[in-house]
Chain A
């Protein structure tokens, strides 16, 4: 009995390798479908993970709010003038009893150079409380303090990737040129997860006063981050802050806001809808590739076995029962699926690692997806090899033998 299975396996194997071209194409179609599905899914998933990670790591916080200069939609160009948000607005908001902290920010992009290396870098003029407002602290050195602010000091705290970008060794105490002024590096921020073009670790922070007077020459600010006391009613806070800003900016009646207020639930809504769209996109692509591969495998297997029906008839004539024929082609499908699965697995891993090496995407291999697509492939292979083989055993062998 034990030998019988080995003998069957040998018989099946001989039949399989008798037509190597056919075997090659069957395996190829399975491998391509498995690899394509898993690579697409894995890359999509890894992109989604990283986008969501980056968004989550903005650390917006539950009791927080962000005010951006200029009116309009959250994402996109502003539709009003954007030079109306002032430091005075921040000071007025700070007076509200439910406000814990107000951190104004002045933004700009300037040419930064060090020993002949020059790059356009995003510069943020900030208050000392920026670290608390964003939960982002120096890894080495110190952050900007009140004295720096008072004296309009030419000091800066750099993002984690800046020293590497400019090739600065032992950055603390070194001078870096921003536009035409030299700034002393006093601290390096800890690294923050980041995504795509908005590398948060490639920014430079200077005192807000220095930024406004020495660098950007502007009296308005670009954003205000606000932290509330725990348990604050965010909707009410938003309403009050909006009233203050509209009054201070002299906006009346139907005049639109010349600022945008971003609350945590808006941010969450935006993140979750982005995540939902990505998930639907991934599922659709996976489903399409599954169906396409299924149809291809179906056709190949069906044609392959149907071609063999005279041989099946011969086997039946020699005394094979239909069970034996079914076992024969079941074993055959499993061998094909096993080989394809193995190659598909190795190939997807290779492709993923290669892509991960050349792009910021991480190689995320989903076993669940792989096993799901593999079982789908096995199922299609089995079903569409069994249908023609069972059909061949149902016909009187004498009829099929004629075509052998």
Chain B
């Protein structure tokens, strides 16, 4: 019950927050509207620079580093950006940091950009910029591109500790970004209002376990289940698919669970079955790993399971879940999706930044923080860093509102999802 109220509270606060930042975002957009053409021009300019012989580029870039120093004196802080916190957010944050520091050229194809062999996901959505990785994201916030690989406009590093430690470190100003898998209100026991006045909540992805079924169940017309039905299946009250209203499919249900007492098992019991120690007499088999679950679902008829989204396929299909009247659909663009933070099997993965006096406009970011966090907020970032680490990418609407939050500081138009 207390969780519900907590959810409610954060939901409301997020709406108000989006409402306020949304306005700023629109203003920012309006201001940047004229520059969007200029961005394209800048892109082609740097293209010609990049193509035109390697020697001039090198000399230019060595001069470039001096330029960066001079630009530092003119206000751009290029100090090391450090983050710390939760081991759950760490894979996302740290992969992001590694990519950033490598500052791969657009001809790389594997990590950034495109070549004859491969293209990174979401590349066309980013507008196929002819810039190095970190250069591209940094210049959107006013940094000078270094145009040299392994030399980003400013370096980043990520430390590993706990959610609570990360939240504390960011509020104390020890690090720039605090990674947390729980809301800061719970981690530091502070009120929602105090949290909003102290930090900006950047949600970069979600951790959760969508409910999946085998393809024959989908073919039989099951595309959504109610929370009550899922509970019934796992508590042995529903044992045949034909027992579900409107489904004419005489097939025993093969209910797959996760290792007894594991974190996944406990959170499923808590959020679906009504308590961390709720009984699960309906479970037919238990597996420890996502791969095993996916394999078992694909090769057994009538299967239902819960597992990381990254392992879904044509034969392992996520279904919509109806919780107390709200239908969460697997479709990314739906009103309520299984990628939402309200979806009971999900939790947000946060990267908190501190609201400081000396930030531009006294806001929640300095340019480095905004540039780094913005890297995660597009299809490329979500695919590589979030989905690549078996987490749930943000649905379009959340991605947009997060993007609007960071766009207040952008000197150029950000590509909206």
Tell me whether A and B are bound partners.
no
